[in-house]
Amino acid sequence: MGLGDNPYLILLRIASIVSHKDIMNTLFTYIKAIHHQASDVAIIDKLTKTNLYCDDGVQINEEETSYHFDNGVVICHRVERDNAPSELLCEECWISYEVIDSAQHAITPCRKTFHNACQESFWLKMQASIA
């Protein structure tokens, strides 16, 4: 029996392919790359737009970045903060990631939002521990 006929090695190879496919289909994979962490995808281009506006006398700073990945996927990362004084340990803001173009990958979830950077950081750590 040759190595190609070994059922155990065949199953390992299939598991590796399925596992790699699953990794490419998680939004976490792309968010890791956005945060400059080791990832199976690479950012090939990004475009950032900023916008300042007032809402009820409070200045809002909005930053939106579109990330283009080497596999054709496009993710929009948006952060919205106000300049209102806050006594919170982790200031409130609105952070979102959204799949704009999946390039025929079934990426899940297609959108993820956070209400502050601490919540985002905790989610990233939890995802890394189960990945």
Rounded to two decimals, the pTM is: 0.79
Neighbouring CB atoms inside 10 A of 77's CB total: 19
pLDDT, tens digit, for every residue of 65-96?
999 999 999 999 999 998 877 777 788 899 99
pLDDT (average), residues 26-30: 96
pLDDT value at residue 12: 46
For the chain, give the DSSP string. --GGG-HHHHHHHHHHHHHHHHHHTBHHHHHHHHTT---SS-EEEEEEEEEEEEETTEEEEEEEEEEEETTS-EEEEEEEEE------SS-EEEEEEEEEE-TT---BSSEEEEEEHHHHHHHHHHHHHH-
As a whole-number percent, the residues of the chain with pLDDT over 70 amount to: 81
Angle at 52 between CA 47 and CA 54, to 5 degrees: 155
